[in-house]
Amino acid sequence: MAEPVRLALIGCGRIAQVAHLPALEKAEGIELIAVSDLSAAVARSVAGRYGVPAAHTDPSPIWADDAVEAVLITAPDRFHHTLSTQALEAGKHVLVEKPLASTVRDAEDLVALVDRTGLVLQVGAMKRHDQGLQYARAFVADRLGAARSFNAWYRIGDLRPGIEATLFPPVFAETEARRHEASLKADRQRYLLATHGAHIFDTVRFLLGDVASVVARHRQDERDHVWQVLLTTTAGAVGTVTIAVDVPGLPAEGIEVYGAAGWLRVDTQFPFYRQASSVQAYADGAVVSPTFTDGDAYERQLESFARTIRSGGRPDPDVRDGLAAVRLIESTATAVEIGGEVKL
Amino acid sequence: MAEPVRLALIGCGRIAQVAHLPALEKAEGIELIAVSDLSAAVARSVAGRYGVPAAHTDPSPIWADDAVEAVLITAPDRFHHTLSTQALEAGKHVLVEKPLASTVRDAEDLVALVDRTGLVLQVGAMKRHDQGLQYARAFVADRLGAARSFNAWYRIGDLRPGIEATLFPPVFAETEARRHEASLKADRQRYLLATHGAHIFDTVRFLLGDVASVVARHRQDERDHVWQVLLTTTAGAVGTVTIAVDVPGLPAEGIEVYGAAGWLRVDTQFPFYRQASSVQAYADGAVVSPTFTDGDAYERQLESFARTIRSGGRPDPDVRDGLAAVRLIESTATAVEIGGEVKL
Amino acid sequence: MAEPVRLALIGCGRIAQVAHLPALEKAEGIELIAVSDLSAAVARSVAGRYGVPAAHTDPSPIWADDAVEAVLITAPDRFHHTLSTQALEAGKHVLVEKPLASTVRDAEDLVALVDRTGLVLQVGAMKRHDQGLQYARAFVADRLGAARSFNAWYRIGDLRPGIEATLFPPVFAETEARRHEASLKADRQRYLLATHGAHIFDTVRFLLGDVASVVARHRQDERDHVWQVLLTTTAGAVGTVTIAVDVPGLPAEGIEVYGAAGWLRVDTQFPFYRQASSVQAYADGAVVSPTFTDGDAYERQLESFARTIRSGGRPDPDVRDGLAAVRLIESTATAVEIGGEVKL
Amino acid sequence: MAEPVRLALIGCGRIAQVAHLPALEKAEGIELIAVSDLSAAVARSVAGRYGVPAAHTDPSPIWADDAVEAVLITAPDRFHHTLSTQALEAGKHVLVEKPLASTVRDAEDLVALVDRTGLVLQVGAMKRHDQGLQYARAFVADRLGAARSFNAWYRIGDLRPGIEATLFPPVFAETEARRHEASLKADRQRYLLATHGAHIFDTVRFLLGDVASVVARHRQDERDHVWQVLLTTTAGAVGTVTIAVDVPGLPAEGIEVYGAAGWLRVDTQFPFYRQASSVQAYADGAVVSPTFTDGDAYERQLESFARTIRSGGRPDPDVRDGLAAVRLIESTATAVEIGGEVKL
């Protein structure tokens, strides 16, 4: 077997601690050899718990360290572009949390840089590594016939905090840093559309290909937001995407696709349950629901990233997928503003 | 108890035979005393089976018959306006199959005529008499909080003919008449939008009130059609309606509504199973699913019609609801044509 | 195509009117040419509605009528043995409602008579003609591996009367006859075990083969009864059967079977919904749920009966299946009485 | 708020690492201050990861340590009795993994010792702290009416290892120790009945009270076992319990209870998903499904244990519940052997 990919983690905040570090501890083909966080206390605590030899408060030593082959960037969204750029220029492969960047322009810069360096850049839209969605994609390709229509939904439920309190390990954090970060999410409407849209728009593209146009409506109730988006894909499927934060009750995420010869329904679980999406796939007179056991999409995306580095091929999602997701986010925001159709 | 309402049935085609006549046979407070159909053979056969004393090939004797208090109009859509007009002018109460009329203008004429005559006109969008949808409406009013978003769907499945063959009694028909009717559905796109839209748009209005604007996309694949519609209600809820004919597999119809304090999902059964809609209604930490037994919405609409005639009150849906459904159908068609938003 | 089988219906009570007559009207390969009922009014009304040329108050003319090839016996249970015997001796094929007979001895007589006459006798345990159960049986044979354990249930819910009021057409009946019949169900415990056991025990045998032993417990609460039965099949599967009348809520009927390589769950609908059983069948990493449209098991059993008469083969269930069901009913009753195991 | 209970953990094997330690890290009102394991390496690794000050290879120092108020015993089953006895005699409160002991006699000894010492002994049948089962118990008490019948199931699926590989953190273990333990599960039939029966029999008693008699059948296929048990409760409910190891596919655990006024279905999730049981509770015309977020029954049982120590009351399940479960396990084994009924 190949040598494990030697990885450094940039940003040890909540998502790193609840999703990526437990996955890194178990993922095959990858070895965490350094962490970095603005907070020395957090970096040290994380390194201690997971037995990581090096803990930094600045990524510079990581860029300079030849032992580091790749980085996982889980710093706040607004640093994705800069850190990814620095990593690529330092010759490191990059797995960067979604969204790839805050603007289409920044995302385009990264496309160019990846093309120039030839390095692997994978975007952390980890649902592409969900066994259920992978089954769904194969079904769409093989048995659904031409996709004609679809409806996707991504609803954050107001019971989410309780679920997270149950599922998450204790998180090392500095109160001050947390407060600062929260203040940067002040444009809550933009933040929510970007952070959730990055998932559901990527799922739409994963199953249905590129989107050609969007029309969108938005409604705000104090801290709650909902977007209803009408989309046409390049291939001519017509569909809708609903993004709602928060709805009463449990979170819900999924997509239905209707084709010429079959249909498909995917219900994606809250990721920290570590369950693959439930799939119902109809064709030829029967609904098939595959059973899956390997439900940690964070672990699976790491293993896929490591295999791509060692064996080549296109990372999934790649930098262009990341750009396309950012473009859909921006187009939806624009469509809400102008009230009319935005062509991509 | 009040005297049963003496009813005449105008049009003894398939929907009359599979839905209305079995319902009339059992409905309380209503008595079928005459039938009329262009085909003498069909009128006679139906009258024989159900023990109806009078069978006509023309509605004129019904208009003239003082014993007839009310009519149920189940003739083809294009005759709804004319027959309803004649009935009202003859002083008969009217239960007319949906859609109320083929055009907004014709529907508006009927509104005026109902206002002038003071007679009862109820539109046969019978789902308002489905126990599940009635529960849903009460839940929306009482517990959901302000409705913020919704998604509705109405999909005819390609397995429908097999289901109908199982559920329907043998139908008396003249081959020639059937062929002629089928030829009049030649503008299939318009016909499908009207016949299915009349149901799902009425359900949207029943639960969410009036619609202020629509944007719509349409896709055609030979005989199959799909509409994706983005709607804003007068009260500010944003939602989508999907109408698809045919999709592979079983039919599916329903709506989800998300509010400030709860959510609701309604799954409406294929009506000839005579099962009320399944409802899941979430508020205050629990999903409630009521169980219902009185699942024949056709029978329930007849009984409601009879009660309205005897006891007064607004029929449901009334002529203005029928007009609003026709307006939504037309607006959707227009929105597809112009590609932009249509304000109602 | 073969000539339709000319059939006479013996007994025009409720089950005949709500299940068999609507099925006869549509079944292919079979033609109803006479009916018989103790009540002349009922026989006449039924014959009128369904256009049957002959209506009798005694089956004698049917036995004597050479035009009648076969009879459907839907008279009360206690007449099944006598009427089936008379029919067979008159040279008529027989489809007799379940249970085949009231005692094992009577059922054994019929086995001997069928063997002697070579006529077709099919028992009206119509669920064997349910598409879902037929799929289940094939799955058990082909993919489940050796069946190891099972759990079956048959629960009548207290909402059943409301459902029947919705689904059933108006029934022609004489009040006096009804009262008399009800009085004969005075040994309610025995009646309920026989009438419901005849279905669920037959389903167990249909999927799992013969039963070798039973242990059973019974509990009574006024008019309500429940049996819990522990069974071992001849092939060594261990299982349970629950029969409960009434439970609160909707009726429920089904079976789960676990085998060496897969499992199966069947949920059987209340039959008058005319829906095939829902099946979930697991093997090789996926649950398959077939979709069915031909959901009238009463119609399907008639068509199967007609095909067997015309083309030969074993009717399903045949007279020995009917005997085995009666034996299971009796053994369960005995097991309750003695408190110990009954070997069959 | 009260001082946290100072706890020592005896036995750092797999269940401790995957269930109890992550729960201890988060549970309120309890503080882990020492661990003990036969393997020094395992004790040290666990202590290191969770920041526990003391790691022993023998429990003696724990018995002697006045700072330790309570112990959590997660050593192999055969040590439960001895370690619990030592702990109680050393004046420590005890939370001991299920089953309480290997024999009824040993369990009875512990009942006497608890009575004598007045200390808290809670058995680790943690499902009593599952929010779903707690809701179920309240529903049975308040709305179900007298329980008449029930069916419970506990099926280990052959996909369990894959699920555990996904959900479990890396486990510190010594290969030799693991092999030794496995050899002690050589009487697999007895081991499986005890380890799984301890859960499902406790659930039956939690909802339905004491069991008066059992009849049982068992089938073995190489390493697979299934028990079908017919039970009567002291209150007169008749029911069945199915225990199967392994069945193809996913694990499944649950119970249905039918009462005079309602019914209840509980589906218990594989515990490491940290989801409360799904409940459907029917009464008065509606099925209610509560939503829960606090799904870590291991954490909840720890918090309950700590509260009982600080505030008094009966631990749940207590030592007599533990004894009753052991008695049901033994009675089931005996019932299989003798083929007849065992009265408890």
Read off the tokens for D326.
């052991």
HEC assignment per residue over chain B: CCCCEEEEEECCCHHHHHHHHHHHHHCCCEEEEEEECCCHHHHHHHHHHHCCCEEECCCHHHHHCCCCCEEEECCCHHHHHHHHHHHHHCCCEEEECCCCCCCHHHHHHHHHHHHHHCCCEEECCHHHHCHHHHHHHHHHHHCCCCEEEEEEEEEEECCHHHHHHHHCCCCCCCHHHHHHHHHHCCCHHHHHHHHHHHHHHHHHHHHHCCEEEEEEEEEEECCEEEEEEEEEECCCCEEEEEEEEEECCCCEEEEEEEECCEEEEEEECCHHHCCCCEEEEEECCEEEEECCCCCCHHHHHHHHHHHHHHHCCCCCCCHHHHHHHHHHHHHHHHHHHHCCCEEC
Closest CA in chain C for residue A132: C286
Contact at CB, A258 and B237, closer than 8 angstroms: no
* Collapsed DSSP state (helix, strand, coil) of residue A291: coil
- Measured CA to CA in angstroms, residue D73 lies from D9, D46, D321 at distances of 6, 15, 17
Within 10 angstroms of residue A1's Cβ, the number of other Cβ atoms is 6
Gyration radius from chain C CA atoms: 20
Read off the tokens for C312.
């030969």
Q: How confident is the model at residue A180 (pLDDT cuts 50, 70, 90)?
A: confident
Chain A residues touching D170 at Cβ < 8 A = 25-26
Question: Among candidates C217, A337, B77, which has minimal Cα distance to D212?
Answer: C217
Question: Among candidates C188, C223, C169, which has minimal Cα distance to C19?
Answer: C169
Residues forming a β-bridge with A272: none
pLDDT given at position C1: 61
User: Integer distance in angstroms from the first to the last C-alpha of chain B?
Assistant: 43
pLDDT given at position D118: 98
Task: Determine how β-strand A286-290 pairs with β-strand C286-290.
Answer: antiparallel
- Measured CA to CA in angstroms, residue A288 lies from A284, A291, B160, C273, C284 at distances of 10, 10, 20, 24, 12
- Measured CA to CA in angstroms, residue B219 lies from A147, A228, B169, C34 at distances of 11, 19, 34, 54
The answer to whether residues C201 and C207 touch, using CB atoms and an 8 Å cutoff, is no
Report the C-alpha gap between B171 and C127 in whole angstroms. 27
Cis peptide before A76 (omega within 30 of 0): no
Chain A residues touching C288 at Cβ < 8 A = 286-289
Q: What is the predicted ipTM?
A: 0.95
Report the C-alpha gap between C246 and C160 in whole angstroms. 9
C149, C217, C218 ranked by CB distance to D219: nearest = C149
Chain A residues touching B215 at Cβ < 8 A = 215, 230
CA distance A317 to chain B (A): 28
- Calculated CA dihedral for residues D92, D98, D103, D105, nearest 10 degrees: 40
With an 8 Å Cβ cutoff, the interface of chain C facing chain D consists of 145-146, 148-149, 151, 153, 155, 215, 217-219, 221, 224, 226, 228, 230, 232, 236-240, 242, 244, 247-249, 258-263, 282-283, 287, 339-341
Which helix or strand (DSSP H or E) is residue D175 part of?
Answer: helix D175-184
Q: Please report, for chain C, how many H helices and E strands are present, in that order.
A: 12, 15
Contact at CB, A339 and B339, closer than 8 angstroms: no
Question: Among candidates D324, D325, D295, which has minimal Cα distance to D22?
Answer: D295
CA distance A164 to chain D (A): 8
Residues forming a β-bridge with C155: C244, C252
Chain D residues touching A132 at Cβ < 8 A = none
Report the C-alpha gap between B93 and B120 in whole angstroms. 5
Read off the tokens for A92.
């490191």
Closest CA in chain D for residue B288: D288
Question: Among candidates B237, B244, B226, B217, which has minimal Cα distance to A211?
Answer: B217
pLDDT tens figures, B156-175: 999 999 999 999 999 998 87
Based on the number of CB atoms within 10 Å of its own CB, is A115 exposed (0-12), middle (13-18) or buried (19 or more)? exposed
DSSP state of C97: P
pLDDT given at position B1: 61
Read off the tokens for C224.
């309500």
The answer to whether residues C37 and C13 touch, using CB atoms and an 8 Å cutoff, is yes
Q: Extract long-range pairs of B175-178: CB within 8 Å, 24+ residues apart.
A: B177/B38, B177/B39, B177/B42
Residues 6+ apart with CB under 8 A from A234: A209, A210, A211, A212
Weakly modelled stretches of chain C, pLDDT under 70 = 1, 186
Q: How many residues does chain B have?
A: 344
Q: Is A162 left (phi over 0), alpha (psi -120 to 50) or beta?
A: alpha
Report the C-alpha gap between B240 and A100 in whole angstroms. 29
Contact at CB, B294 and C165, closer than 8 angstroms: yes
Within 10 angstroms of residue C220's Cβ, the number of other Cβ atoms is 11
Which helix or strand (DSSP H or E) is residue D72 part of?
Answer: strand D70-73
Which parts of chain C fold into alpha helices (H)? 14-15, 21-26, 40-50, 60-64, 80-89, 104-117, 131-142, 160-167, 175-184, 188-208, 297-311, 319-338
Report the C-alpha gap between B83 and B60 in whole angstroms. 10
- Rounded to 5°, angle at Cα D288 from D283 and D293: 145
The answer to whether residues C90 and C63 touch, using CB atoms and an 8 Å cutoff, is yes
Query: Per-residue pLDDT averaged across A115-123, rounded?
Result: 98
- Measured CA to CA in angstroms, residue B135 lies from B127, B338, C161, C281, D291 at distances of 12, 38, 21, 34, 21
- Measured CA to CA in angstroms, residue C19 lies from B182, C25, C97 at distances of 33, 11, 11
CA distance C1 to chain B (A): 21
D165, D167, D274 ranked by CB distance to A166: nearest = D274
- Is residue A1 pLDDT above 90, yes or no? no
Query: Per-residue pLDDT averaged across A76-98, rounded?
Result: 97
Which helix or strand (DSSP H or E) is residue A176 part of?
Answer: helix A175-184
Closest CA in chain C for residue A285: C291
The single residue listed with the structure tokens 């890396």 is D170
pLDDT tens figures, B244-295: 999 999 999 999 999 999 999 999 999 999 999 999 999 999 999 999 999 9
**Given CA atoms C254, C255, C256, C260 in this order, what sign does their dihedral have?**
negative
- Rounded to 5°, angle at Cα D92 from D89 and D94: 105
With an 8 Å Cβ cutoff, the interface of chain B facing chain A consists of 145-146, 148-149, 151, 153, 155, 215, 217-219, 221, 224, 226, 228, 230, 232, 236-240, 242, 244, 247-249, 258-263, 282-283, 287, 339-341
Question: Among candidates B152, B153, B146, B151, which has minimal Cα distance to B262?
Answer: B146
Task: Determine how β-strand D121-123 pairs with β-strand D93-96.
Answer: parallel
Read off the tokens for A110.
């990264």
Read off the tokens for D209.
């009270």
- Measured CA to CA in angstroms, residue B6 lies from B71, B113, B301, B324, D98 at distances of 9, 22, 15, 29, 72
Report the C-alpha gap between D232 and D211 in whole angstroms. 6
Closest CA in chain A for residue B225: A148
With an 8 Å Cβ cutoff, the interface of chain D facing chain A consists of 22, 25-26, 49, 159, 162-163, 165-167, 169-170, 249-250, 273-275, 291, 293-296, 299
Give mean pLDDT in consecutive 10-residue pieces for chain D, a chain of 344 residues. 92 97 97 97 95 96 98 97 98 98 98 98 98 98 98 98 96 82 81 97 98 98 97 98 98 98 97 97 98 97 98 97 98 97 96
> Which amino acid is it at B84?
S
Report the C-alpha gap between C282 and C265 in whole angstroms. 9
The answer to whether residues D267 and D250 touch, using CB atoms and an 8 Å cutoff, is no
pLDDT tens figures, A9-50: 999 999 999 999 999 999 999 999 999 999 999 999 999 999
**Best of B148, B151, B224 to disrupt the A interface by mutation (most A CBs within 10 Å)?**
B148
Report the C-alpha gap between C104 and B94 in whole angstroms. 60
Report the C-alpha gap between C149 and D219 in whole angstroms. 8
Query: Per-residue pLDDT averaged across A212-225, rounded?
Result: 98
Q: What is the pTM of this model?
A: 0.97
The answer to whether residues C251 and C273 touch, using CB atoms and an 8 Å cutoff, is no
**Best of B278, B291, B293, B294 to disrupt the D interface by mutation (most D CBs within 10 Å)?**
B291
Chain C residues touching A290 at Cβ < 8 A = 285-287
